[in-house]
Structure formats: C-alpha cells, structure tokens
Amino acid sequence: MAVSIVVGTHWGDEGKGKIVDYLGENAQVVARAQGGNNAGHTVIVEGEKYVFHLLPSGVLHPGKVGILGDGMVVDPSSLLGEIDFLRQKGKDVSERLFLSSKAHLVLPYHRILDGIYENIRGGRKLGTTGKGIGPAYEDKVSRWGIRVGDLEDEKLFAQKLRVTLDYKNLLLERAFNQPPLPYDKILEDYLGYASLLRPYIADTSKMIYQFYREGKNILIEGAQGTMLDLDHGTYPFVTSSYPVVAGSLLGVGLGLGSISNLEVLGVCKAYTTRVGEGPFPTELQEEMGDYLRDKGGEYGATTGRPRRCGWLDGVILRYAARINGITSLALTKLDVLGGIDSLKVCRAYLVEGEEVDDFPVSSHLWDKCEPVYEEMEGWEEDISSVSSYYDLPSSAQRFVEFIEDFMQIPIAIVSVGKERRNTLVRKEIF
C-alpha cells in the first residue's frame, strides 16, 4: 500500500502521461487532483495515440479505478467527450470512474472571460490555453463557483446559475461591451450533462482514504508543472491551480499524516520546454531550439501551439526537488538529444555578475538569469527503440548519471521513444 505522486519539474509537458501509464499497471487507483482540460497527456500504446485532458491516463489499464479529484475544474462536455472516445476504442470506464462532488464546473462564461482577459493584457498576455481555467478558479476563490455536486439537484443548480449568470452578464455587457449569455440554453445544456454525469459523482476524498486503508496503491497524476504553480511558479505566467505535490494531496483530499508510504516522482524532460509566455532562462532561439522542437514533436497537446525549447535547466530541477520533496526522478525523451555533438545542462545562473544556484524568488531577476552550463559529449545513435538502460550508448548513460549525481536523487525511470515498452526502469516505484 503506497501513494505515488507524479509531478512535473518544469513548465508541464515533461512526458508525465507516458510515465503515469507505465506506473498505472501496479496501481489500483489513479487520480487527477488539480487543473482541468488545459492539460494534455499523451500516451501511445501499440501504435494507438490517446490524449487525455481530464481523465487520469492510468485508466487506460483495464480495471483501474479513475478519480477526478476535489481540486479540479471540470468542463462537462470535454469530460463526456473523453469518456465517449474511450468507449469507442473499446475501453469503457463507466463502471470505474468517479468525479468529485467538490470539483468546480467550467461554464461557458469562463471560456469567454479567459479570452477577454488575455486581450485586455495586450502585450502582457499570459498565453493561456483558452479553456476558461483561470476564470473558473477565480470564481472558486471568490465564491461564485458552481460545483459538480450542484448538478445533483436540478432546482438548486438552476437557482445558482441564475444568480451567477446575472452577475456574469452584467460584467460582460457593462464592463466588456459583449452580448449577454442565454440562461435557458446554458441551463438546458448543463442539465443534459447532469443526467449523464450523475452516476459518476461521489465523495472521492473519502473513497481514496478508504482505498488506501484497504492496502491499495494510489497514483496521483499531477498536471502542468512546478513552474506553473500559482504560488511557486513564475507568477503571473502560471496556471491557476497548484501542480506541486502539496496541491496534489489537497486536490484529492488526502491528509499527509494519513500516509506512511509516499513516493514523489519528479518527471523531467532531458531538455526543457514551455508553452505560453514568461521567463525561460535556458531558451534556445535559433537552430538548436528548432531541432529540439521538430525532433521532440514539441507542439501543445491541447492547443497545438509550438513549444519554446531550451537546454535542461538543472537550477529549476533542483528547485522543484525542494518544493515537492522529490524522492526519485523520471527522465523522459532522452532519445530526442541523439545526434547532437555537445549537450548542455544548466547548473547555475549568473545574476548581475554573481553565480547563484537557486531559482531567484524576485521576478525582476528572472530575465537577468544567464545560464551557466555543464557541457557533455552527445551520442549519434537512434535510441528510441532501446528497451534496457544498459543498451544505451555510454555517453547517454553518462548524461543520465550526471543528472543523478547533480541532483543526488535516483533516476528511477529513463524514457526513450513513444511506446510503453521504451520505458527503461532502473528502480521500481510501486
């Protein structure tokens, strides 16, 4: 009986989907804790590609219980679409999926306001996914939110929608000069979703606690990454939830003191990417950035946007290890670095002439961080179909061991290639 939390060490897109899919095999319960359909977790099994936005990727394994936790914001039509997609692929999750009654609903005005807020920012855009995530969390915090559990009582839902929509329409019309949204249409749509979602709604926090007490392995699938965390990321260029480990426990409603066996697996890509705006000290602007983007297929799984690419930022990795209490690492997409003569890993920054080895807390310093690199010899071979760590070229093994040494944290998994079978395990997690 154990709880494993998978957390992204940088700005998301670290390849968590594939790692979670691998770990899902030995878990009985797989859960998402925060975020919404801004996430895009890709898993490829036997040539078939699955992109998960709301469901935990581990549900691909037959019989695993899937949980959408309390800390999530859920767009019902997106969730129903995913459930349907899996059903068409012969993977019915309907008997084993549970949706927290405390999770918040994403409503049409959230998506509209997401776009309006971005436009107002002009040159200081955040580059959001446009899914309404920020406005949905904004409503949660300011207590205008409508929760999944409210769908269980039609009258109550209708009342809550009436009050909230009156306020949102006031905002849309008076502040932003936009047409009001139709109450009747939204009510009809959401009552339709309610009838389909009702069987899934549950007290998932209680369920997870009971599963843990029964000795089951629980896998919590973090979405986004440490540097997109509302408190600990590169604010304001962050998402509106808590992708760090503390947020995962909060988001599934599990108390740290109840867990005696916790593993925190940090998922780190062999290079670094970010999508959206904001600081990125190791970003590569020219040829090498394009090489990584093309070879790594670095285009957003949710929005299709090209991701910004750069060398692995070890300073951020160390920061993520501290904030999350990472106990082991998974290093992903190592194959993408093949064919590059000389590889770099950032081990410190020069900030105003001084070498620092921690991520500065003050945002005015972020654009002044000049990476200090460790250079290493690369490898020529295509390693994307390797299935044992010891079959990797020696320089690829040296790259892995350098990071392990630098971090003083074991690298439990090295991932090369897209398929489930190209997951090289150095230490068992469950």
Active site residues: 13, 41
* Residue 130 phi, psi (nearest 5): 75, 15
Establish if 131 lies at the interface with ligand IMP (CB under 6 A): yes
* CA separation for the pair 371, 401 (Å, rounded): 21
> Closest CB to ligand IMP among 4 and 129?
129
HSE (side-chain half, CA atoms, 13 Å) at 232: 24
- How many other β-carbons are positioned within 10 Å of the β-carbon of residue 61? 19
Establish if 129 lies at the interface with ligand IMP (CB under 6 A): yes
Cα 121 to chain center, whole Å?
Answer: 25
Establish if 276 lies at the interface with ligand IMP (CB under 6 A): yes
Among the residues of 171-203, which ranges form H helices? 183-197
From the CB of 224, what's the least distance to ligand IMP, in Å?
5
Among the residues of 261-380, which ranges form H helices? 287-296, 314-324
Size of the site for ligand IMP (CB under 6 A): 21
> Closest CB to ligand IMP among 79 and 424?
79
From the CB of 235, what's the least distance to ligand IMP, in Å?
11
* Exposure letters 273-286 (e unless 16+ CB within 10 A, then b): bbbbbbbbbbbbee
* CA separation for the pair 393, 304 (Å, rounded): 33
Establish if 128 lies at the interface with ligand IMP (CB under 6 A): yes
* CA separation for the pair 80, 96 (Å, rounded): 14
H-helix or E-strand spanning residue 405? helix 394-407
> Closest CB to ligand IMP among 203 and 283?
283
From the CB of 218, what's the least distance to ligand IMP, in Å?
22
> Closest CB to ligand IMP among 125 and 160?
125
Q: Judge whether 211 and 4 are in contact, CB under 8 Å.
A: no
Establish if 328 lies at the interface with ligand IMP (CB under 6 A): no
C-alpha dihedral, 27 to 33 to 35 to 37, nearest 10°: 40
Map the footprint of ligand IMP across residues 223-252, applying CB under 6 A. 223-224, 228, 237, 239-240
Number of continuous H segments (helices) and E segments (strands) in the chain: 11, 18
Q: For residue 66, list its beta bridge partners.
A: 30, 97
Q: Judge whether 255 and 40 are in contact, CB under 8 Å.
A: no
Stretch that binds ligand IMP, among 131-139, 181-189, 385-393, 396-404 (CB under 6 A): 131-139
* CA separation for the pair 402, 420 (Å, rounded): 25
From the CB of 41, what's the least distance to ligand IMP, in Å?
8
Establish if 20 lies at the interface with ligand IMP (CB under 6 A): no
> Closest CB to ligand IMP among 104 and 347?
104
Q: What mask, x for binding ligand IMP by CB under 6 A, covers residues 26 to 65?
A: ------------xxx-------------------------
Answer for which of 12, 66, 149, 251 binds ligand IMP (CB under 6 A) is: 12
Residue nearest to ligand IMP (CB): 276
Q: What mask, x for binding ligand IMP by CB under 6 A, covers residues 78 to 117?
A: ----------------------------------------
Binding stretches for ligand IMP (CB under 6 A): 11-13, 38-40, 126-129, 131, 133-134, 223-224, 228, 237, 239-240, 275-276
